[in-house]
Structure 1
Amino acid sequence: MLRLEDLTKGTQVQGILPNSIVAIVDAQWHGSDVVELTYKDASGTLGNELVFRDREPTLEIITSGGAWSFTADGANFRLASEAHRIRIEYELSDLEAVLYKRVTEYVREEFNRAESQELCDRSPCSPTSSRTQAAQRGTYC
């Protein structure tokens, strides 16, 4: 259970604002049962609030690095996104599903083509690299 003494500078807390996580900027005590919190919400707006002991059960310290954490397994994400794609195709008509599939394949191919072209351009020995082309023209960056 959270105690008011746990609310220190840099702590991320849920329950100060409804449905939001705040980062505590400063905590100033007023007696033994009241702490004045200065906090910053997700949008960066500063706020100030007096928190009494009777609110301890409604507060929770967030320890996982904030509202967003990128530590999940990538394979599970791919599996979930594929399941979502299949569900979307199921909900679409046959013509819409074919169009959706073609568009996603086109976007994937273009992304892969752009990525491989960028890698080729970075290679100093590639005939398509900007350095090689500049050397052939006799101009250098």
Structure 2
Amino acid sequence: MKLEDVTNGASLEGVEPSSVVTLVATILISPDSLQLIYRLPDGALRERLVSRADEAVLALATSARPWSFDGDGAAFQLTAEAKRIDLAFLFDPMMAVHTSNIVAPAASSSSGATSSSRSSARTRGTCCS
């Protein structure tokens, strides 16, 4: 970025290490040097003298959103539902009972339980009569 392109109010990278600064004022000292008065992200004011040698380091800061919602909606919905089911026990202590009613028992276990319950019912009936 050339020194002539630096204007008041611009956000620059390269003035301070690892931070974007906002220029408050620029004062042309000579054709090859410029005094920058800038504000840091925490609000502190500082100043720096830059020259033509610093042009390679200076760059306009691009503004980007820190959070974006451009992902796959179906994948997000699936993940959110899985997390909801994962945490359901915190809000519904009977969750295991509710989900066990949804799942049908296996064929082998239902036939075995039925035959044993019938035989015990016949046994009880014959003993008591």
TM bucket (normalised to shorter chain) is: 0.5 to 0.7
Q: CA deviation at 1:77?
A: 8.5
**TM-score, scaled relative to structure 1:** 0.50
Q: Tell me the distance in 2 between the aligned counterparts of 1:43 and 1:23.
A: 11
- Counterpart code for 1:76: G
Deviation at 1:75, TM superposition (A): 3.9
d(CA) in 2 for partners of 1:17, 1:32: 23
Q: What runs of 5+ residues in structure 1 fail to find an aligned partner?
A: 90-97, 107-141
**Runs (5+) with no aligned partner, structure 2:** 93-129
Shift in Å, 1:5? 1.1
CA RMSD of aligned residues (A): 3.5
Secondary structure of 1:58's match? coil
Taking every aligned residue pair, what percent have the same amino acid on both sides? 27
Residue 69 of structure 1, CA deviation? 2.2
Number of aligned residue pairs: give it: 87
Query: For residues 6-85 of structure 1, what are the structure 2 equivalents within 5 Å?
Result: 6-64=5-63, 69=65, 72=68, 74-76=69-71
* Matching residue's letter, 1:14: E
Q: Of Structure 1 and Structure 2, which has the larger fraction of its residues in strand?
A: 2
C-alpha separation between the residues in 2 aligned to 1:103 and 1:29? 67
Aligned equivalents of 1:63, 1:41: Cα separation in 2: 16
Moved over 4 A (4+): 77-80, 102-106
- In 2, the alpha carbon distance for the partners of 1:104 and 1:54 equals 61
Counterparts of 1:78 and 1:104 in 2: how far apart (Å)?
26
- Measure the CA separation in 2 of the matches of 1:104 and 1:19: 42
Separation in structure 2 between the aligned mates of residue 25 and residue 6 of structure 1, nearest angstrom: 15
Q: Deviations over 1:23-54 (max 9, x none)?
A: 00000011101100000011111010001110
Measured in 2, the distance between the counterparts of 1:61 and 1:21 equals 9
Higher RCO (C-alpha 8 Å, min separation 6): 2
TM-score normalised according to structure 2 size: 0.54
